Amino acid sequence: MPVQLPETSRRSVLRALAGLPLLPVAGIGAGELLFASGAEAASAKGAPVAVEFVGMAAPTTAAAQAKTTVESSMVVTWADGSKQSFALGYQPLFITGDHVPDGKGGTILAGGYTDINGKPILDQSMATPAPFFSDCPDGCNLLAPIPGAKVAGVTGNTLFAVVQFEYATRDSKDASMYGKLPSPIAVLTLDQNKETGALKLVQYHNVDTSPAHGLWITCGASLSPWNTHLSSEEYEPDAAALDDQFRAYSKNLFGDETKANPYHYGHLPEVTVNADGTGTIRKHYCMGRISHELVQVMPDERTVLMGDDATNGGLFMFIADQPKDLSAGTLYAAKMEQEAGKDIDKGGAFALKWVKLGHATSAEIEKLADSLKAADIVEVKKEDPKDPSFTAIPFNGKTQWVKFKPGMEKAAAFLETHRYAPTVGATLALTKLEGVTVNAKDKTAYMAVSYIYKTMSDGKSGIKVDKINAGAVYQLPMKGGQTDMAGSAIASDWVPVHFSAVPALVGRDLATPDALGNTADADLIANPDNLKFSEKLRTLFIGEDSGNHVNNFLWAYNVETKKLARILSCPAGAESTGLQAVDDVNGFSYVMSNFQHPGDWEKGLHDKVKDSLASLIDDAYRNRRSGGVGYIHGLPQAV
């Protein structure tokens, strides 16, 4: 029979669990906290020695499929061999479109869009124009405590998180708005309950992005080792072929469809949070202009591995000149050498060699971006010019022919990276290389390839494996003492040397859809996207962006036991985003988890469930126009 503990005993149990920090207890008061036994009994168990996530079944009822559902648990094993189970749940902080505290006694629109001058951007398709807000919260980072942090309204510990918003799916008339609005990014001031770890939003601050020329399609994010938010700009605009999407973006941002410069986008923005809950931003232009999904800085605080969410994407690595400073360094791209016949039905296996693309500072590349047009750097042909001075390259799933202007090698390497890298020997054949994270103890990086198809399976770009629409998570062992393709030493001990799928993390396509409409096995991952690793829990967390699962899931994979557990299900049609595994903040751990575009119905996949789910999702998420920001919490229970 559970017993209620006095305050000092509750603290001692929480701190005992903090050796493997406890997911926060949210939604209950400290006086209501129950454990299976008293503090003396907990102490007798010894220290916690292991944590295991116990998965949940995929939801099958309309009520469960239409919301964020968490029916999983966490089991702690103590030194004496006993186990204690904690049910998990989901705690929202807000959904976009809410009016949340602005810290000034008023409110602000969560996920709202503003132009370069900070003025709200209005949806003019409405009878009465109203401010746009995003349905797509994505990258999110809970920061380590900032010294001297002080914000009015906080009664517990002052914490900050940064959340970015990738895009707005549609306007009020359901016309696509993808990539047509400048991405907002916000600092959240959170009040952390000192007893339970629960988080409460007390201030929402929009970061002024005008110093960075505005932001373009901010997707995933990571926390730097020096406690800053590393953002992203995905699907860099093609400077050689500007389209209506980019012109609309420019119009919404600047009020002029010709003013935005494509070379200012496709880079890495970094947000620094101040002690008062405000933030500042700058872009790093020297890390390659690619489809930045997110980046992961290695423990040396210099080496950076980057996701490249493109068709004909590549493996890119940046090594900063100085620790904790991404404003100057050397950019590399991988040449992938496939091991013939090995695991071609499971994603293949590849040795990695590295091609140096160049060294630069952010300032010098920004200056080039300010002054150059695409025609100053490269001549591009979409049909074979029958001219040997042009080089055929794979680009966005097709072949192009390029010729770089003399003396423009540096500009090409850093501003036309996708076109330049294959001309100097790099392999650009991956399809939707998304999340990246690091297991420091094992010196292994993990990268998500959401779909294994097209340029990975057609053999045209240097690799050929069997098509797996459900994708896979790859592992990349890292070593020091490496040289680049020219024989020069690479100044890092964290250089990936091999690329192969984790056997348990390969999706399985179904020959025919199952009873719910899933076209990939619902008990395996499908289309992995967000990845984050917890060193203390020895667990890789995997969020899906699947066109093959009716509901996207968040998974936990223990790298020691090789056990895979489904721990969360998103609303149908929603993508699992904003993933972050935080090992310890004031004695508590957190799994941050957002979702975007609920009710994004895909023909075929959702045909069997749409009729029963559509009204539920419309009612809960403003007619499919809101996404959610929140985290997983754990509620201790009797075993």
- Closest by CA position to 399, among listed 422, 367, 430: 422
CA–CA gap between residue 66 and residue 606 (Å, rounded): 12
Over the stretch 255-264, which tens digit does the pLDDT of each residue have? 999 999 999 9
Q: What is the pLDDT of residue 605?
A: 97
Over the stretch 360-400, which tens digit does the pLDDT of each residue have? 999 999 999 999 999 999 999 999 999 999 999 999 999 99
CA 478 vs CA 189, 322, 440, 481: distances in Å: 36, 20, 10, 10
585 pLDDT exceeds 60? yes
**Helix, strand, coil % in the chain, rounded to nearest 5:** 15, 40, 45
Range scoring the smallest mean pLDDT among 14-18, 507-511, 600-604: 14-18
Mean pLDDT within 529-534? 97
**Would 60 be classed as within a structural domain?**
no
561 pLDDT exceeds 90? yes
**Would 179 be classed as within a structural domain?**
yes
Q: What is the pLDDT of residue 434?
A: 96
Q: What is the pLDDT of residue 290?
A: 98
Mean pLDDT within 450-472? 96
Over the stretch 424-433, which tens digit does the pLDDT of each residue have? 999 999 999 9
DSSP string over 518-564: -SB-TTS--SEEEEEEETTTTEEEEEE--SS-SS-EEEEEETTT--E
**Owning domain of residue 162:** 90-287
Q: What is the pLDDT of residue 8?
A: 37
Other beta carbons within 10 Å of 211: 12
**Would 520 be classed as within a structural domain?**
no
User: 612 forms bridges with which residues in the sheet?
Assistant: none
Range scoring the smallest mean pLDDT among 22-36, 196-210, 550-564: 22-36
Q: What is the pLDDT of residue 39?
A: 40
Over the stretch 35-77, which tens digit does the pLDDT of each residue have? 333 344 455 677 778 889 999 999 999 999 999 999 999 998 8
- Closest by CA position to 200, among listed 21, 7, 24: 24
Q: What is the pLDDT of residue 50?
A: 85
**Would 587 be classed as within a structural domain?**
no
**Would 109 be classed as within a structural domain?**
yes
Q: What is the pLDDT of residue 47?
A: 77
What is the count of structural domains for the chain? 1
Query: Do the beta carbons of residue 420 and residue 377 sit within 8 Å?
Result: no
Over the stretch 111-139, which tens digit does the pLDDT of each residue have? 999 999 999 999 999 999 999 999 999 99
Mean pLDDT within 203-226? 98
CA–CA gap between residue 283 and residue 214 (Å, rounded): 10
Over the stretch 484-517, which tens digit does the pLDDT of each residue have? 999 999 999 999 999 999 999 999 999 999 999 9
Over the stretch 394-407, which tens digit does the pLDDT of each residue have? 999 999 999 999 99
CA 99 vs CA 76, 592, 625: distances in Å: 39, 21, 14
Over the stretch 310-319, which tens digit does the pLDDT of each residue have? 999 999 999 9
CA–CA gap between residue 119 and residue 265 (Å, rounded): 21
**Would 382 be classed as within a structural domain?**
no
**Would 118 be classed as within a structural domain?**
yes
Q: What is the pLDDT of residue 43?
A: 56
Q: What is the pLDDT of residue 429?
A: 97
CA–CA gap between residue 591 and residue 466 (Å, rounded): 34
Measure the CA dihedral 124/130/131/135, to 10°: -90
- Closest by CA position to 455, among listed 485, 418, 507: 418
Over the stretch 152-183, which tens digit does the pLDDT of each residue have? 999 999 999 999 999 999 999 999 999 999 99
Residues 511-535: b if buried by 16+ CB within 10 A, e if exposed: eebeebbbbbbbebbbbbbbbbbbe
**Would 158 be classed as within a structural domain?**
yes
Residue 358 backbone phi and psi in degrees, to 5: 155, 170
Query: Do the beta carbons of residue 414 and residue 285 sit within 8 Å?
Result: yes
Over the stretch 324-358, which tens digit does the pLDDT of each residue have? 999 999 999 999 999 999 999 999 999 999 999 99
Q: What is the pLDDT of residue 40?
A: 43
What is the sign of the dihedral through the CA atoms of 452, 458, 460 and 462?
A: positive
CB contact set of 388 (below 8 Å; sequence gap of 6+):
none
Output the average pLDDT for the chain.
Answer: 93
The rounded Cα 134 to chain-centroid distance in angstroms is 17
11 pLDDT exceeds 80? no
